[in-house]
Amino acid sequence: MSDETTRKKVALSGVQPSGNLTIGNYLGALSNFGPFTDEFDCYYCVANLHSITVRQVPAELRRRTYEVLALYIACGLDPDKCTLFVQSHVHEHAELSWMLSCFTMFGELSRMTQFKDKSAKHADNINAGLFTYPVLMAADILLYQADVVPIGQDQKQHLELARNIADRFNGIYSPTFTVPEPYIPKVGANINSLADPTKKMSKSDTNENAVVRILDPRDVIIKKFKRAVTDSDNCISYNNGSDGVRNLMTIYSCFTHKSYDEIEREFDGRGYGDFKTAVGEACADGLADVQKKYGELMADKSYLESVMRAGAEKASHTASKTVAKVARKLGFVQI
């Protein structure tokens, strides 16, 4: 049998340690990583190279790198069953990113909505890294020949670009990269801000009432949901409700696994007060185990470092094979 038929399919994803993770990161990404580990060869990275497109306080970036790794494990990822690693520990990410940048068009990058949003948000620091971020993301994915990439809706456009880059390179040099497919969850791919439900919930949002963090204490979670923006209609309906109501119904559905119809029946004739309390409690209950496990893991830094070391070794092994293959195809002399 050929390598291709015996090869286990690969899943890859990552989360930036650019702030305290939100339930958007949890529902759109982290909570979906675990189910892939049985069937797929999984690589999950702490994407710290991506984080520096926006200014970071070094000590905070360092601390958050440990935190994201601990959250991966607390969310159920077993380091013995998948490769958990820190992106900057595998130098091939930066190397392949440069190579792929020569196969990515300026016009393509200019169309990326995240670039437009982030340049507007950080007008004093529109650096080249912010612009070429999607090329680094393509390198992250293509290095491991990923078949599937679990992501939230906001990353779909970047994934499309990674597919285009892979296709372009394969077309010029013969098949080199697996062309990845996105895995976007049906519910939870698009969790919005509690303060402005027309916008994505982002970990770097400075309005604390807009975001629910995975590690927020129970009473804080409940308080934030009580303050969530809805409207004055008292209409708990997915089709007829406001953006705020739909967002809360989505969050409630993710944590309770109830359908929108069931939620509508449950709150028929009841007000927003009851509904928001129920969403807050369901969210706090759903995160309780993750928070407990996280606390235990963060108390054992040497264990986290051993996971980082083993992950870096495994990831580097795969990544170096891809970079060698690309270098050979490009015509770089190998010694």
Residue with tokens 């494990």: 73
DSSP character at residue 305: H
Q: How far is the CB of 328 from ligand AQP (least distance, A)?
A: 31
Which residue number, 61 or 330, has a Cβ lying nearer to ligand AQP? 61
Q: How far is the CB of 207 from ligand AQP (least distance, A)?
A: 12
Structure tokens at 3: 């390598």
Asked whether position 151 contacts ligand AQP by CB under 6 A, the answer is yes
Catalytic residue among 8, 81, 118, 121: 118
> DSSP letters of 217-279?
-HHHHHHHHHT----SS----TTTS-HHHHHHHHHHHHHH---HHHHHHHTTT--HHHHHHHH
Catalytic residue list contains 203: yes
SS3 144: coil
Catalytic residue list contains 224: no
Residue type present at position 312: A
**Cα–Cα distance between 25 and 21 in angstroms, integer?**
6
Burial (CB count within 10 angstroms: exposed 0-12, middle 13-18, buried 19+), residue 31: buried
Which parts of 38-57 interact with ligand AQP (CB under 6 A)? 47
Which parts of 68-87 interact with ligand AQP (CB under 6 A)? none
Task: Evaluate whether 314 touches 83 at the Cβ level (below 8 Å).
Answer: yes
Asked whether position 24 contacts ligand AQP by CB under 6 A, the answer is yes
Q: How far is the CB of 96 from ligand AQP (least distance, A)?
A: 18
Residue type present at position 121: K
Asked whether position 256 contacts ligand AQP by CB under 6 A, the answer is no
Q: How far is the CB of 327 from ligand AQP (least distance, A)?
A: 28
Residue with tokens 């990674």: 162
Stretch of 183-191, 221-229, 245-253, 257-265 lying at the interface with ligand AQP (CB under 6 A): 183-191
**Candidate list 203, 213, 224, 276; residue touching ligand AQP; CB under 6 A:** 203
Q: How far is the CB of 324 from ligand AQP (least distance, A)?
A: 28
Stretch of 96-104, 197-205, 246-254, 313-321 lying at the interface with ligand AQP (CB under 6 A): 197-205
Catalytic residue among 8, 203, 321, 329: 203
**Interacting residues of 109 by C-beta distance below 8 A, sequence separation 6+:** 115, 131, 132, 134, 135, 161
Residue type present at position 178: T
Which residue number, 22 or 65, has a Cβ lying nearer to ligand AQP? 22
Catalytic residue among 8, 156, 200, 223: 200
Asked whether position 141 contacts ligand AQP by CB under 6 A, the answer is no
Asked whether position 65 contacts ligand AQP by CB under 6 A, the answer is no
Q: How far is the CB of 2 from ligand AQP (least distance, A)?
A: 32
Asked whether position 154 contacts ligand AQP by CB under 6 A, the answer is yes
Task: Evaluate whether 51 touches 274 at the Cβ level (below 8 Å).
Answer: no
Catalytic residue list contains 325: no
Structure tokens at 93: 């990410």
Burial pattern 240-268, b for ≥16 Cβ within 10 A else e, equals ebbbbbbbbbbbbbbbbebebeebbeebe
Which residue number, 118 or 169, has a Cβ lying nearer to ligand AQP? 118
Which residue number, 224 or 326, has a Cβ lying nearer to ligand AQP? 224
Catalytic residue numbers read 118, 200, 203
Q: Footprint of ligand AQP on this chain (CB under 6 A)?
A: 15-16, 18-19, 22, 24-25, 27-29, 47, 151-152, 154-155, 189-191, 200-204
